């Protein structure tokens, strides 16, 4: 019997062979392709740019404890004080951008210092903003022996008694210094600046009547306000603090632009991978939403301020610009 050759068979076999080879190649490629490395796979270092003890250190440790539970890896706090936070900031700026070295940035490292000092780091270019933690307002306080009961009387007294008032600060270029200089400029008053090496000695002289006014954080001032050892006249920020609801804001009193606060946030080295930045931001904001974390921070007169990385980046830029303007207007430059 004569069988007619099937001319389609070779073509079919060739197509089948090609498909098989394609499938094998694809499987090999997928088998060899590297999978994305999960993060984190080891402990994360969270640098506190201050010595152990105090408000910022407490915030760092409270945050690290909650983040460790949430993120599934240990977050270890390392204290690195000195240079007003510049030593720690420089170390973080030079660290690998892998998400395993972070820092609690604050108004000193990424607000006032960049505005008035020449630093070994760039507060904007050398860091990746991850997210804000929160802020506590500053409060104008006076020695209660002064014949002054409220903010208006304070301004009137200062205008009628030029150079009779002095104020203490935690040091040149600090928020306690620049905040008061902002007020002097806005109100058209004069007070002698007495800088101290830290807020503790400044309080000692204020309570003793050696100085008459100060512009500390509300958290640091509350024990003295609540025991009537100082009198609170006005707070910074957009609204009154729940920790001191009887003290009006500067805005209520007709002074706009007094939004400077002692703020805290988390940053990493520049060029942190976007996926890691996003994960850390999500984990940070998850911690801020915990009722027990919120209660602890509120008890320290802090308002939590969850932000996206971009919002936090904008906040840092605006804060530096705010204090740079005050420094320029008051001819303040610190080497």
Model confidence pLDDT, tens digit, residues 132-149: 999 999 999 999 999 999
Confidence class for position 95, pLDDT limits 50, 70, 90: very high
Would you state the structure tokens that stand for residue 47, as one six-digit string?
């640098």
Q: What band does 2 get if pLDDT is binned at 50, 70 and 90?
A: very low
Tokens of 38: 């999960």
Helix, strand, coil percentages in the chain from 3-state DSSP, rounded to 5: 45, 20, 35
Nearest to 82 by CA among 109, 121, 104, 58: 109
Q: Provide mean pLDDT across the span 317-325.
A: 96
Q: What is the pTM of this model?
A: 0.85
Residues 300 and 86: their CA atoms lie apart, in Å, by: 25
Question: Percentage of the chain with pLDDT > 70?
Answer: 89
Q: Cβ(92)–Cβ(103) under 8 Å? A: yes
Residue 299 has what pLDDT?
83
Which of 37, 73, 77, 136 is closest to 266 using CA atoms? 77
- Cα gap 247→150, rounded to integer Å: 9
Looking up tokens 């002054």 gives 148
Question: What average pLDDT does the structure give for the chain?
Answer: 90
| Res. 126: pLDDT tops 60 | yes
N-terminal to C-terminal alpha carbon distance within the chain: 106
Residue 5 has pLDDT above 80, yes or no: no
CA distance 260 to 320: 10
What is the pLDDT confidence band of residue 298, given thresholds at 50, 70 and 90? confident
- Segment 32-42 shows an average pLDDT of 71
Check residue 54 and give its pLDDT: 82
**Domain 44-136+261-329 identical in fold to domain 139-235:** yes
pLDDT computed for residue 36 by the predictor: 60
Fold of 44-136+261-329: D-Maltodextrin-Binding Protein; domain 2 (3.40.190)
**CATH code given to domain 139-235:** 3.40.190.10
- 60 pLDDT above the threshold of 60: yes
Among 34-48, 60-74, 258-272, 284-298, the range scoring the smallest mean pLDDT is 34-48
Residue 288, burial from CB neighbour count under 10 angstroms (0-12, 13-18, 19+): buried
Judge whether residue 11 has pLDDT over 50: no
d(CA 287, CA 68) in angstroms, rounded, equals 10
Domain residue spans of the chain: 44-136+261-329, 139-235
pLDDT at 3 over 90: no
């Amino acid at each position: 019997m004569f069988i007619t050759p099937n001319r389609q068979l070779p073509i079919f076999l060739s197509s089948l062979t090609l498909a098989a080879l394609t499938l094998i190649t694809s499987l090999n490629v997928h088998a060899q392709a590297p999978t994305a490395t999960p993060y984190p796979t080891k402990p994360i270092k969270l640098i506190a740019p201050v010595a152990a003890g105090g408000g910022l250190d407490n915030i760092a440790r409270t945050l690290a404890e909650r983040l460790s539970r949430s993120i599934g890896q240990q977050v270890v706090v390392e204290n690195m004080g000195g240079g007003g936070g510049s030593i720690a900031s420089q170390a973080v700026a030079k660290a690998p951008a892998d998400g395993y070295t972070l820092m609690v940035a604050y108004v000193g490292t990424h607000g006032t210092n960049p505005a008035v000092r020449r630093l070994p780091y760039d507060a904007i270019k050398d860091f990746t903003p991850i997210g804000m933690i929160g802020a506590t307002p500053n409060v104008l306080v006076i020695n209660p022996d002064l014949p002054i009961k409220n903010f208006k009387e304070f301004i009137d007294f200062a205008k009628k008694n030029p150079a009779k008032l002095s104020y203490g600060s935690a040091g040149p270029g600090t928020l306690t210094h620049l905040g008061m200089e902002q007020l002097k400029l806005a109100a058209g008053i004069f007070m002698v600046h007495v800088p101290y090496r830290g807020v503790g000695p400044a309080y000692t002289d204020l309570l003793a009547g050696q100085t008459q006014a100060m512009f500390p954080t509300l958290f640091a001032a509350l024990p003295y306000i609540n025991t009537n050892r100082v009198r609170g006249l006005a707070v910074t920020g957009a609204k009154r603090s729940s920790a001191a609801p009887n003290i009006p804001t500067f805005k209520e009193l007709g002074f706009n632009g007094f939004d400077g606060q002692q703020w805290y946030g988390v940053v990493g080295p520049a060029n942190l991978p976007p996926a890691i930045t996003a994960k850390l931001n999500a984990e940070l904001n998850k911690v801020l939403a915990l009722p027990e974390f919120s209660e602890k921070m509120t008890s320290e007169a802090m308002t939590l301020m969850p932000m996206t990385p971009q919002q936090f980046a904008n906040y840092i830029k605006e804060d530096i610009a705010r204090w740079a303007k005050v420094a320029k207007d008051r001819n303040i430059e610190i080497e």
